[in-house]
Amino acid sequence: MSAHRGTGHTIRGTLAAFDSPDAMLEALRRLRQEGFTGLEVYSPYAVEEVDELLGRKSRALPLIIVAAGVVGAVGGFLLQYWGMVLSYPLNIGGRPLNSWPAFSTTTFELAALAILLVGFFAFCKFCRLPRLYDPIFDAPGFEHASQDRFLIWIAEREGRDDSDLLQRLLPHGEGVKIDEVPA
């Protein structure tokens, strides 16, 4: 397998494949106990507990979306206020120029639009998408992660040979397949 393709990055480590999410979670638990940190799970659907085991949380996206909603709503209202009160006031039967109830629906819609667009682009940013090539795609059997298998990527630890430890932690039992990924 070639070491340099696409992005020019190389990754070294072990990819373990499991038939069921439970077996994968069990292995992940053991790996965590042994102090492995460069772990990532690839699965055909979101498996609960994985984030907990990997100790990862994400609060940024909801906050960004709430902020986008607030900015969209305030900006949307100010746009209408600017147009109807400041820039082009029309006196229709002496009604108030700042007719905020009539502005409320557009305010809501523009807040929704801001949430949709900002949410999508923030999601892409956090997922590092679009990223059409990643070295992990070259790992043998990686295509099963989007179908029916649960993969754990164990990045090689600097200056350590963990092959014996991994042999012990991830026995070549039923439903487990281990590949060294030199790429």
Q: Is 14 in the site for other proteins (CB under 8 A)?
A: no
> In the complex with other proteins, which residue's Cβ is closer, 62 or 175?
62
Q: Would you list the DSSP string of 84-125? A: IIIIS---STT--S--HHHHHHHHHHHHHHHHHHHHHHHHHH
Q: Is 36 in the site for other proteins (CB under 8 A)?
A: no
List phi, psi (to 5°) of 14.
-125, 140
Q: Is 126 in the site for other proteins (CB under 8 A)?
A: yes
Encoded tokens for 55: 């100790």
CA–CA separation, 16 vs 150, rounded Å? Answer: 8
Q: Is 134 in the site for other proteins (CB under 8 A)?
A: yes
> In the complex with other proteins, which residue's Cβ is closer, 135 or 161?
135
Taking CB under 8 A as the binding criterion, the range among 10-18, 36-44, 164-172, 173-181 that sits at the site for other proteins is: 36-44
Nearest to residue 151, comparing CAs of 35, 44, 33? Answer: 44
Q: Which amino acid is at 65?
A: I
Q: Write the burial class of residue 52 (CB in 10 Å: 0-12 exposed, 13-18 middle, 19+ buried).
A: exposed
> In the complex with other proteins, which residue's Cβ is closer, 44 or 182?
44
The one among 14, 36, 103, 183 contacting other proteins by CB under 8 A: 103
Q: Is 155 in the site for other proteins (CB under 8 A)?
A: no
The interface with other proteins within residues 61-100 (CB under 8 A) comprises 61-62, 65, 79-80, 83-84, 87-88, 99
In the complex, least distance from residue 164 CB atom to other proteins, rounded to whole angstroms: 27
Signed CA dihedral, 126, 129, 135, 141: sign only: positive
The one among 3, 9, 37, 106 contacting other proteins by CB under 8 A: 106
The one among 11, 23, 54, 155 contacting other proteins by CB under 8 A: 54
Q: How far is CA 1 from the centre of its chain?
A: 28
